Structure 1
Amino acid sequence: MRIDVLTLFPAMFDGVFSSSILGKARDKGLVALNTVNFRDYANNKHNTVDDYPYGGGGGMVLKAEPIFSAVEDVTAGLTAKPRVVLMCPQGEPFSQKKAEELSGEEHLIFICGHYEGYDERIREYLVTDELSIGDYVLTGGELPAMVIIDSVVRLLPGVLGNETSAVTDSFSTGLLEYPHYTRPPKFRDWEVPEVLISGHHGNIEAWRREQSLLRTWRKRPDLLKHVQLTPKEQRWLRELQAAEEKNTEK
């Protein structure tokens, strides 16, 4: 995969792209991570990339020319069109499903703004996706882009040491992930659940599924609406809810 990030602050990505999983993936040649300072594509002597909005109002608006020129330069000579992702609080809420979708692409371009907004022609005629990492506003799109890139790259084949890790992550199955334990088996009188050290793989898988259901029901019950449950699981969750309501009444 190739990822290009259009930003006014490329130095912000230096540590992120050279550390941890992203750094290892780049060293292995599994992903090419590049930053492009779109100020270099400004078409005026002062290298400004923003201007006052037509119609008045506060703040500055990112100009269309430098963004279009930067994307056209990055994609020059390429036959396949990349996904061009605009980081924007108005965008589609980012999710694990979206990360999985983007991980199947060969080339991604992220546009990070840093002003009041974008010239609407960028949104209408250049980008393919608008993404947001939450219902709040940051000073720029750099941090959200880092979050999404990390989420996408870790799904690429060969990036994680254990190929099953990404498959069992929270949200990948539609449920929150089950609890994890490691050595020692007993710590300050707190013991690892016996089933996990039993060696019985069938029982372990059943316990993990049950714990995922229980954790999702307690923390994110909204997710259960989109999960295919067996009749036994549905009955078990109804019993849990009834017991919870009974305890609340007391």
Structure 2
Amino acid sequence: MIVIRKGGVLMTHLHIPDGVLPGIWIFISFALCFVVLGLVINYVKKHKNSKKKIIHTAVISALMLLGMSIPLGLIPYHLNLTVLAGIVLGSGLGFIAAFIVNLFLALVGHGGLTVVGLNTLIIGFEVYLARTIFNSLSNIGLVKRVAFTTVFALLLVTVLMVGVVSTMNMPIEVAAHLECSHHTHETISVSTDHFTNNFISFLLVVLPIVSGGIILESIIISLIVRYITKVKPDLIDYSIRYPVK
């Protein structure tokens, strides 16, 4: 049996402590992370439109940090708010927000410092994917557009996370803040291969919980975006006209 820890589960954020992630993954993930950060920062310096959104980046980063730190209570799930970052900030500044949030989460024990690079790449890709999906759904209403974007982006990156963990030959419960009884884990596993076991565990136990969380998050983000369009509509319009990629 897989049991969700008291703090909840956030499927696209790896709660891997220091000393567990293979050295090669640490090196590659941080190298790629810093390359992307360098490109984004260089872009921001050259474009005045991007500089105007720095304060928005700080606000969205704070919201993401708050959402990822506090479980919802109704279900063992943390909000991501990465879709909100993609819509308001664009994929570039959204990546910076992802790095800031993951760094602070690591400092308070939500995953090790050595996992910050990998977590930033995964969540940064989630921001990029959210932005791409949101832009491609321009022919439907805003609320539906945000809801569909949230569901598709989070589900796709959740599957990606399971694949990444499986590639490292690591049980999903180690990476996703889960507890698992060894005896009952064997009853749902048909293979000693972590890739097979992880996807069986994901489909049978984790997916129903995560699906409920994703649906709830899609509602919350849709309401937030709808509120923004009422009190400060230029924030969303500005982001659409001048996306930071």
- TM-score class normalised by the smaller sequence: under 0.3
TM-score (norm 2): 0.27
The structure carrying a bigger helix percent of its residues is 2
The structure carrying a bigger strand percent of its residues is 1
Instruction: For CA contacts below 8 A with separation 6 or more, give which structure has more relative contact order.
Output: 2
TM-score (norm 1): 0.27
